[in-house]
Amino acid sequence: MKRLFIKTYGCQMNVYDSERMADVLRPLGYVSTDRPDDADLVVLNTCHIREKATEKTYAELGRIKALQRAKAGDGRGGMTVAVAGCVAQAEGAEIMARAPVVDLVVGPQSYHQLPELIAQAEQAGASRPRGERLLAEFAPEAKFDRLEGATRRRSGYSAFLTVQEGCDKFCTFCVVPYTRGAEWSRPAGDIIREATGLAQQGVREVTLLGQNVNAYLNNGWTLARLIRTLAAIPGLDRIRYTTSHPRDMSEDLFAAHAEVQALMPYLHLPVQAGSDRVLKAMNRAHTAESYLRTVERMRAARPDIAISGDFIVGFPGESEADFEATLDLVRAVRHASAYAFKYSPRPGTPAAAMGRQVPEAVKNERLQRLGALLEAQMTEFNLAQVGRTLPVLFDRRGRRPGQIAGKSPYLQSVHLQAPDTLLGQIAPVTITAAASRSLTGVLAQPAELSGELAA
């Protein structure tokens, strides 16, 4: 038995990829551990989206190097170190130069080749030549075809399932089109097979993942058709999807939200900014107005839908008036959840080369103001649930003894006193209290479920 430690940074797609890497390495005798110090193989699955995320990779490599030395020093054997993910893709050569501890670098489309690469690295042992670099040629077909063959093992009740990768939108701030390549959608049959397998292992909820998941299109299959089909799989009671682009919201997706009971009332639909001038400079291909119309149509289809978003403050050229337009849009939308980021110039993206970069102090001040507004909206959304009875999927033990925790349809964490025999089940909970990031409640009867949530 060999020990595998994978550390995952960034988005849910990386979480999915990390699980699949563990799956393809299992036949080689690798068993996952959550301790890096005695791992035989360490994989860092990295994120390149903002500078801070990237810097974490290098900081972690410093710590890994110390662990590797300590392990060898104690006679506990070697430690192979691989860097995967988006930093690997974007900065492979730089990683090899900056961090001699790294044995191999592997981009997101090449994970299916990990077994061969690791086997080679192991065979060569301490004398191996460093420098295996495997970056994507952006042929996701090969990756998914090979990953299909690896048995997917899941222990939880909620799972991620990648259905689409890549991005053709080229927002001027974003590295994703360069690290993940062009938009590509997996064949529906493969997705249905994977979802069926997950349901057979007790998974009750799947989140369909894609950088532009609502652009999913394969052989006439749209995301909405996929959702309707997956909803019919026995045991699969909840379906979610993320992340969507406002440009790709379609009629059939609105309709699915109105009609498919298993489709959860939650939509992560990043808008990034509220000023049309900034949106144009970002190459977003939508306006504040068209975004608000999309939200309205979604609310017409599913009145209780929880809206979530991403925001960037301090994009080059953003004036105080532009920023206030973002605050206005936020007030108009009323979010259930949201993420706000300071603009981070990324090498090779058009915005990094734009003039009128916004000073750090201004970014900080705007982030604080936007953060406070969003926080207040999240609290308000959560408080509005007090007194309602929501179906909760219990997916983990709580922090305190006798507590379990789960997720509401609106993706809120719900904590309550209940026996852990309820884990994996969906049961009604009457909400008794709310904070900005979680709810507490008590078990209720199915007949008490609120309004649109009653089956």
Q: Which is nearer to ligand SF4, 11 or 227 (CB)?
A: 11
Cβ neighbours for 16, distance < 8 A, ≥ 6 positions apart: 160, 161, 162, 209
Residue 396 CB neighbours (<10 A): 16
Show the beta-strand stretches assigned E in 194-249.
205-209, 217-218, 221-222, 238-242
**Phi, psi (rounded to 5 degrees) for 8:** -110, 130
Rounded to a whole number of angstroms, the minimum distance from the CB of residue 228 to ligand 5AD is: 27
Contacts to ligand 5AD from residues 103-122, by CB under 6 A: none
CA dist list (Å): 303 to 85, 248, 375, 416, 452: 38, 20, 22, 27, 9
Nearer to ligand 5AD, 310 or 380 (CB): 310
- Residue number, 53 or 163, with CB nearest to ligand 5AD: 53
3-state class (DSSP) for residue 222: strand
Question: At closest approach, how far in Å is the CB of 19 from ligand 5AD?
Answer: 20
The answer to whether residue 47 forms part of the interface with ligand SF4 (CB under 6 A) is yes
Integer CA distances (angstroms), 117 to 88, 128, 409, in order? 15, 12, 42
335 binds ligand 5AD (CB under 6 A): no
Tokens of 230: 């997956």
Regarding 150 and contact with ligand 5AD (CB under 6 A), the answer is no
Q: Read off the amino acid at residue 172.
A: T
* Contacts to ligand SF4 from residues 153-182, by CB under 6 A: 175-176, 179-180
3 state SS of 441 = strand
**Main-chain dihedrals φ then ψ at residue 76, nearest 5 degrees:** -95, 15
Q: One symbol per residue from 72 to 91: x for binding ligand SF4 (CB under 6 A), - otherwise; what is it?
A: -------------xx-----
| Binding of ligand 5AD by 173 (CB under 6 A) | yes
* Binders in 249-278 for ligand 5AD, by CB under 6 A: 270, 272
Shortest reach from residue 288's CB to ligand SF4, in Å: 24
Tokens 């973002």 locate to 326
Residue 272: contacted member of ligand SF4, ligand 5AD, none (CB under 5 to 8 Å, by partner type) = ligand 5AD
- Counting contacts by CB under 6 A, is residue 213 touching ligand SF4? no
Residue 431 in the binding site for ligand SF4 (CB under 6 A): no
Among 4, 6, 10, 282, binds ligand SF4 (CB under 6 A): 10
Cα separations (Å) of 225 from 50, 196, 229, 455?
34, 16, 6, 21
Asked if 140 interacts with ligand 5AD (CB under 6 A), we say: no
Residue 47 binding result from ligand 5AD, ligand SF4, none, given CB thresholds of 5 to 8 Å by partner type = ligand SF4
Is 64 in contact with 95 (CB distance < 8 Å)? no
- Which residues contact ligand 5AD (rule: CB under 6 A)? 49-50, 173-174, 270, 272, 310, 312, 341, 343-344, 346
- Which residues contact ligand SF4 (rule: CB under 6 A)? 10-11, 13-14, 47-49, 85-86, 175-176, 179-180
